[in-house]
Amino acid sequence: MNIFRALLDSAPASGTSQAGFFSTYGGTIILVVVMVAVFYFFLYRPQKKQEKEAAEMKNNLAVGDEVTTIGGLIGEIVSIKEETCVIETSKERTKIRILKSAISKVDVKASEK
């Protein structure tokens, strides 16, 4: 009970103080702007950079590159089309056609072999 009485006594009487818009809502506006900036620099921007790097990697695939798929298959690219590529996966020269979007990373570039 004493806490509520102290809060009521400390609150300004209605009509006695003419506070401006910024003094009333300024802290909230600044906090929202800071939160948006934090989300942009720590979440949105790095994700876009990662997506750009992945797209660049998929566009620069070449025949002879050794790749790993998102499913864990490892193989060497033997042919490339617009959306798909064919990889050889084993000593028996098993060929599998996969989507370019299924390639996780390039392990060894053809130019480095």
Helix intervals (H) in 13-112: 21-39, 45-59
Surface-to-core class of residue 110, CB atoms within 10 Å of its CB (0-12 exposed, 13-18 middle, 19+ buried): middle
Burial degree of 103 (CB within 10 A; 0-12, 13-18, 19+): buried
Q: CA distances (Å), 85 to each of 12, 31, 48, 101, in order?
A: 72, 49, 25, 10
Residue 81, pLDDT above cutoff 90: yes
- Is residue 2 pLDDT above 90, yes or no? no
> Hey, what are 80's tokens?
């490339």
Does residue 51 register a pLDDT over 90? yes
For the stretch 20-50, pLDDT in tens is 766 777 888 899 999 999 999 999 999 999 9
pTM above 0.95, yes or no: no
> Which of 72, 69, 70, 71 has its CA nearest to residue 86?
69
Q: What is the pLDDT of residue 90?
A: 87
